[in-house]
Amino acid sequence: MKRRDFLRCAGMGLAGIALMPDHLFAAQVGIPNTPAPKGGLHLTFRPYRLDLIHTFTVSKSSRTFTPDVLTFIEYDGVTGYGEASMPPYLGETQESVCNFLSKVDLSQFSDPFRMEEILDYVDGIAPGNPSAKAAIDIALHDLVGKLLGQPWHRIWGLSPEKTPYTSFTIGIDTQEVVRQKVAEASPYKILKVKVGVPHDKATIETIRSMTDRPICVDANEGWNDKNRALEMIEWLARQNCLFVEQPLPKEMVEETAWLRERSPLPIIADEAIQGPEDIAHIYGIYDGINIKLMKSTGLYKAYQMAITAKTLGMKVMIGCMTETSCAISAAAQLSPLADWADLDGNLLISNDCYDGVKVIDGRITLNDKPGIGVSPR
């Protein structure tokens, strides 16, 4: 696909799409109207642009939209939905994801239940490309769940009443916008505050002037000095803060271990961890991990990560990028395994094209829809 074709596709909005049958949705979002070949799995994809309600600023970047690619895997008249979301700082683009997906030939597989075999093949096509791989993994899970007639939390044997509250993210902003976002966040029981800039304390004080709800903070590697980080964490512990995510750059391994020994709050790894193989490297340095489907290459490895971390006595957090309800609902299937969830990426965009798992009274509320729990909007 040529670059101008992506851009043209990416500009097509999905606004105004009501609940509709799969084939109508496919037509509406530009999926070719060719019948899937008999026997094998059939993958299609298209670029999409997630428009953010507010400019989103973290310690190292700022943006108004997030590039995305929607994926569809069809088998025997059933369609599984998936998605790749590419925040620019992670290095993947619509072009790289579409290039990767164009190399994937799922027609060689006639049994969608052989998920390990299919996902091993996808993983072996090229190194890296985690969100492109996640887009296939999520669509395959959705397809298999639909073929089984069950949602994934039930297939895994998880109790839907054990889902955690989700935090609502407040980016780095002016005090006025922070106040506005705190007001918007009133249905949520936990606020996740992005920090890592010189006015961190002023931001927290502004929030505390409005609410005493628990907060957690994410420095996105923005505190470069272990002593300053410890001083901040000790101060935050007195502000009803639950934990601190990625206080120091991931390369500062010894400093993070030093910090963890002294920290009154749990230290959670985000940038420092991608997949299950990384857990051994950060064990003893961090108290827990933030699992995100776009880092882990999807649900298959995210589930392994959650089980491994829990077995080691580590805390588990399920997080997200800016995503539609598709990837958010997929991640929510795992959330009964998590101590904390940060699954608000769909709430930060104005053009969500899926209807999925909801947040009710601040808590992730799973539904009974088979697969990952979504339908096209």
Output the known binding site: 218, 245, 270
- Of the pair 68, 245, the CB lying nearest Mg ion is at 245
- Of the pair 143, 195, the CB lying nearest Mg ion is at 195
Binding Mg ion (rule: CB under 5 A), the pick from 123, 142, 218, 355 is: 218
| Options 179-187, 211-219, 347-355, 364-372: segment touching Mg ion (CB under 5 A) | 211-219
Q: What are phi and psi of 262, to 5 degrees?
A: -100, -15
Least distance from Mg ion to the Cβ atom of residue 268, Å: 8
Least distance from Mg ion to the Cβ atom of residue 246, Å: 6
- Of the pair 137, 245, the CB lying nearest Mg ion is at 245
Please write down the long-range contacts of 229-233, taking CB distance under 8 Å and 24 or more positions apart: 229/259, 230/259, 230/262, 230/263, 232/195, 232/200, 232/201, 233/259, 233/263, 233/264, 233/265
Q: Which of 365, 218, 203, 195 is nearest to 288 (CA)?
A: 218
Neighbours of 121 (CB within 10 A): 16
186: Cβ contacts below 8 Å, ≥ 6 apart? none
Q: What are phi and psi of 339, to 5 degrees?
A: -75, -40
- Binding string to Mg ion for residues 240 to 259, with x set by CB under 5 A, is what? -----x--------------
CA dist 79 → 59, 82, 294 (Å) = 39, 10, 21
| Options 11-19, 122-130, 210-218, 274-282: segment touching Mg ion (CB under 5 A) | 210-218
173 binds Mg ion (CB under 5 A): no
Pick out residues in 254-283 that bind Mg ion (CB under 5 A).
Answer: 270
Least distance from Mg ion to the Cβ atom of residue 53, Å: 19
**CA 113, CA 118: separation in Å to the nearest integer?**
9
Binding residues for Mg(2+): 218, 245, 270
Give the pair of three-digit tokens for residue 130. 């985690």
Least distance from Mg ion to the Cβ atom of residue 219, Å: 8
Pick out residues in 48-87 that bind Mg ion (CB under 5 A).
Answer: none
| Options 155-163, 214-222, 297-305, 328-336: segment touching Mg ion (CB under 5 A) | 214-222
Give the pair of three-digit tokens for residue 309. 């971390």
Nearest residue to Mg ion, by Cβ distance, number only: 270
Least distance from Mg ion to the Cβ atom of residue 9, Å: 29
Active site residues: 194, 292
| Options 155-163, 217-225, 248-256, 295-303: segment touching Mg ion (CB under 5 A) | 217-225
- Of the pair 267, 366, the CB lying nearest Mg ion is at 267
Upper half-sphere CA count for residue 20 (Cβ side, 13 Å)? 13
Q: Which of 101, 86, 80, 112 is nearest to 326 (CA)?
A: 80
Q: Which of 44, 55, 159 is nearest to 151 (CA)?
A: 159
**CA 154, CA 318: separation in Å to the nearest integer?**
18
Residues that bind Mg ion (CB under 5 A): 218, 245, 270
